[in-house]
A and B are shown apart, each in its own frame.
Chain A
Amino acid sequence: MPAISTTYNKEDIWKLLDEVTDPEIPVLTIVELGIARKVTIADEKVIIRITPTYSGCPAMKAIEDEIAKKLRLNGIVDFEIKKDFSETWTTDWMPDEAKQKLKEYGIAPPGKSNSNDDFLSNLKNSSRIIPCPYCDSTNTELQSEFGSTACKSLYYCHDCDEPFEHFKCH
């Protein structure tokens, strides 16, 4: 059993969090996804704030359990994981390296979100082009707004004839 550690700082905690991968997208960590938001240490108690990606994301509980396991395995027992809704999660929090990793994994990464877009007029003539993560072709077609998880949609590439998922710009 690991010794109970009492000497750790915020950087140590962030390092551990960056080893916790997302259960649905194991190629990214919860730090890269922007799910882990804030770490505070008060009187040796660690408080970690996490933000859910989508309201109905069923992976939230699994993520909390993974964080708890990681901390305990590293001798940190005095901690609390809090859900933070003060900021709305956006794919813009994902660094470029994380988007590159997604692409290499076969998921078309999200572009930059533009909150100034006029949603109602886009509703009628949506022309978002999502390049295929395998062959970079832009000859792709949206198959469904919802993929295997809420954060992804389904596309089909007419050049390499491969279906692929797109991490929605959110």
Chain B
Amino acid sequence: MQVLTLTKQQALFEYLIRLADDRLILGHRLSEWCGHGPILEEDIALSNIALDYIGHAASLYEYAAEIEGKDRHRDDIVYFRNDVEYKNLKITELPVGDYGFTIARQFLFSAYSYFLYEKLSAVDDEQLRGMIEKHLKEIKYHLRHSREWVLRLGDGTDESHERIQKAFDELWTYTGEFFYMDEVDELLSSEGLAADTKEFQSEWKKLITETLEEATLDAPNFNQFMATGGRKGLHTEHLGPLLAEMQHLRRSYPDANWE
């Protein structure tokens, strides 16, 4: 049997692509709220968060392209990969749903991002650390924003309570992937270049449990079946249509330029 060994460079490229794909795909999903928010302030807030994610993704793709060293532009990575080449978590690609679903997903993902980035802010790579530090400041706003809305909806009217409870129940199966680790994570975390997700899983769980309790919501069943596959390019049926919409212009007119 041939043993394929991953080089540090390949692993770092893959790790950056995963981080970037999560943010690009969720940013694209959130941008669907632009012009459709339940109130003007939330329309603005969700669009701002979408912009932050796409900004985070842009800097991560740029660095990934540099690590790869094949002279690829970040836009080529975004527009000319197919769904199986995307490595985002499944939770980021799920359809936007109602406002309660959006807020529940934002809260679960922002809390995960916060703890992950806290760990990554100590990585042994100056350039990556600079980006992480910048993104982390913005993730804190995202977490504060979504947490406050979880409380408001959970402890709000019967309808808002019911809707956000349903959203958490549906989303829970996708949260196991936050803590997925494979050879990429293992190689890099031994080199001080990535986070060991096991180190913050209990803190994440604690924040989620406490917040749901405060919001008068039922805690999800922690032992239920967890979906996997995103990090290997195995996605739900929802990613394809999203990519088709995002990529079609660039693929139809590959030389088009905004300038």
Contact = CB atoms under 8 A, between A and B. Distances in A.
Contacts of B52: 54-56, 150
A123 B147 contact: yes
Interface in B115-173: 126-127, 130-131, 133-135, 137-138, 140-141, 143-145, 147-148
Interface residues of A, number: 26
B19 interface: no
Contacts of A70: none
Contacts of B134: 55, 85, 88-89
Interface string A81-122: 000011111000000000000000000000000000001100
24 contacts: A54-B138, A55-B52, A55-B55, A55-B56, A56-B50, A56-B52, A57-B55, A58-B51, A85-B59, A85-B134, A86-B130, A88-B134, A89-B134, A119-B114, A123-B147, A143-B41, A144-B44, A144-B45, A145-B45, A145-B144, A146-B44, A146-B48, A147-B44, A168-B141
A114 to B, nearest CB: 13
Size class of the B contact interface (CB-based, 8 Å): 20 to 34
A49 interface: no
* Across the A-B interface, the 4 shortest Cβ-Cβ residue pairs: A55-B55, A56-B51, A56-B55, A144-B41
B56 to A, nearest CB: 5
A7 interface: no
Contact of A119 (B56, B126, B140): B140
A126 interface: yes
Contact of B135 (A55, A86, A126): A55
Given A56-B48, A57-B55, A143-B41, A123 B133 contact: no
A57 B209 CA distance: 33
Interface string B30-69: 0000000000011011001111111110110000000000
Given A144-B44, A145-B144, A85 B131 contact: yes
Interface of A: 52, 54-58, 85-89, 119-120, 123, 126, 143-150, 154, 168, 170
A90 B200 CA distance: 27
Contacts of B133: 88
Contact of B145 (A87, A145, A170): A145
- The majority secondary structure among interface residues of chain A is loop
A56 B53 contact: yes
A122 B110 CA distance: 16
B207 interface: yes
B215 to A, nearest CB: 12
Contacts of A85: 59, 127, 130-131, 134
B152 to A, nearest CB: 12
Contacts of B45: 144-146
B38 to A, nearest CB: 12
A168 B141 CA distance: 10
A52 B51 CA distance: 13
A54 B207 CA distance: 26
B144 A126 contact: yes
A54 B145 contact: no
Contacts of B144: 123, 126, 145
A82 B164 CA distance: 44
